[in-house]
Amino acid sequence: MVHVPKTALAVLLAVMPASALSGQQRLPIPPESALPTPPYADYADLVVAAPVIIDGTVRSELRLKPIDAPGLQPGEARLYIEADVIALIRGPGAVATRVGYTIDVPLNAQGRPPRYRKSRVLLFARGVAGNIGQVQLVRRDAQRGWTPGGEALTRRIVRETLAPDAPPTVTGIGSAFHTPGTIPGEGATQIFLSTADGRPISLGIVRRSDQPPHWSVALGEVVGEGNPPPPRDTLLWYRLACTLPPALPDTVLTSTGPDAEIARQDYALVVQTLGTCDRGGRP
């Protein structure tokens, strides 16, 4: 049993908990070759949401009383966890060598919560103002059981996200149109995307009479000089595949008639090439 200082508990009660773990995370870690590859999109969701990412080991856990766990769902327990920090993978500044946080976890058939003491974990979190020893997990499953692959993927996505040329967050489609060429069957479709910070991204699909359509993506003001489709499990792929709608909305089309239909077909090619945004079972 661990004693939670009153000051720390007051901070915790002011910040709603946001994580849960499955019992599988208590099992010994099998050889890396036996572990499935973590879903890129799932970890990218966590990385982009978490200004603080910690590699740590759970030192202690305490089940909070119902009076100290407002909003707790039936069949769950709220735990106060303290973890020793092994490494700060991402963060705006220093963190304490030991951090505390809360998680909501499901109870087993005997009404007991899972145990995490001595488990190595990855924490995707945000800081708590005025208390470097406390963090808040960014969502219910933002404490992950540590694996070599999970840490490596997390660090790679952090590097991609913080790179000077990192692609912006895509928020939707601004406009789209198809321009026919001088030869029947030829032409080009331009699709302009909207982004969170206003930086331009556009998709260009070119049709030529002697070859299948091909598309590119431009990260800048100049269109028609884009890069090839991004490889799967990269940040640009994630920005596109996990945000773009499955079909081109009619509201963004400025072409009409046959040209509008070609634009829809060209957009469908883009979506098909990108493939499914795999979050490992999450929506």
Smallest CA-to-CA distance from 98 within 132, 143, 63 is with 132
User: Are 154 and 208 within one domain?
Assistant: no
24 band by pLDDT with thresholds 50, 70 and 90: very low
Q: Do 139 and 240 have their domain in common?
A: no
Q: Residue 20: is its pLDDT beyond 80?
A: no
CA distances from 276 to 73, 84, 210, 243 (A): 32, 37, 29, 11
Q: Does residue 197 sit in the same domain as residue 154? A: no
Would you say residue 203 has pLDDT above 50?
yes
Euclidean distance between CA atoms 45 and 279, whole angstroms: 9
Structural domain boundaries enclosing 196: 170-274
Report the CATH number that the domain containing residue 156 is assigned in CATH. 2.40.50.120
Residues 98 and 210 in one domain: no
pLDDT at 38 over 50: yes
Please indicate, yes or no, whether residues 225 and 255 belong to a single structural domain of this protein. Answer: yes
Q: Are 144 and 252 within one domain?
A: no
Q: Which two tokens stand for residue 67?
A: 């009076």
In a domain, 283, yes or no: no
Q: Are residues 189 and 140 in the same domain?
A: no
Q: Taking the model in full, what pTM does it have?
A: 0.85
The answer to whether residues 191 and 111 belong to one domain is no
pLDDT band at 224 (very low <50, low <70, confident <90, very high): low
Q: Look at the chain and report how many structural domains it folds into.
A: 2
Q: Same domain for 131 and 38? A: yes
What average pLDDT does this structure show over 52-66? 97
The residues, any chain, with a CB within 8 Å of residue 198's CB and separated by 6 or more, are: none
135 lies in some domain: yes
